[in-house]
């Protein structure tokens, strides 16, 4: 994964489901994973981001990478890009996350619309996060 944009000044925020929380255990049961498997994978993803990605960035760029966790029901996988584009993947009941549909949403108006909705969802969860 290239983090050239972060090196060039982009801020990067990553928000993960709490690996040791209640809601990741619920998701494991719902998706039929063995107990602890999604927890371990999520913890590994966080560790890789911290060690292999942030650890390779300049000190200044590393300061633009923020990692948080939350312990709430998982509803969406969201990637907000350039305040103009969003990749949104809903988490559906009894469906593995990787099997859920993925939507590309472009911001077309200043107020309202799907992009604004997903931006608000991420911002709200980010404000309630615990830092990693």
pLDDT tens-place string over residues 53-99: 999 999 999 999 999 999 999 889 999 998 899 999 998 877 777 78
pTM above 0.75, yes or no: yes
β pairing state of 65-70 and 12-17: parallel
Average pLDDT over residues 18-33: 92
pLDDT tens-place string over residues 31-44: 888 999 999 999 99
If you search the block for the tokens 């390779």, which residue do you land on?
56
Q: Which residues contact 102 (CB under 8 A, 6 or more apart)?
A: 87, 88, 89
Tell me the CATH architecture of domain 4-131: 2-Layer Sandwich (3.30)
Domain map (residue ranges) of the chain: 4-131
């Amino acid at each position: 994964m290239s983090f050239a944009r972060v090196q060039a000044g982009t801020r990067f925020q990553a928000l993960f489901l709490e690996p040791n929380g209640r809601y990741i255990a619920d998701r494991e049961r719902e998706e039929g994973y063995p107990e602890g498997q999604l927890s371990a994978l999520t913890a590994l993803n966080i560790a890789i981001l911290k060690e292999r990605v942030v650890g390779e960035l300049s000190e200044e760029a590393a300061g633009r990478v923020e990692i948080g966790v939350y312990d709430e029901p998982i509803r969406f996988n969201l990637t907000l890009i350039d305040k103009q584009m969003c990749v949104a993947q809903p988490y559906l009941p009894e469906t593995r996350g990787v099997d859920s549909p993925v939507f590309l949403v472009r911001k077309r108006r200043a107020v309202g619309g799907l992009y604004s909705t997903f931006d608000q969802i991420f911002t709200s969860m980010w404000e309630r996060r615990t830092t990693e």
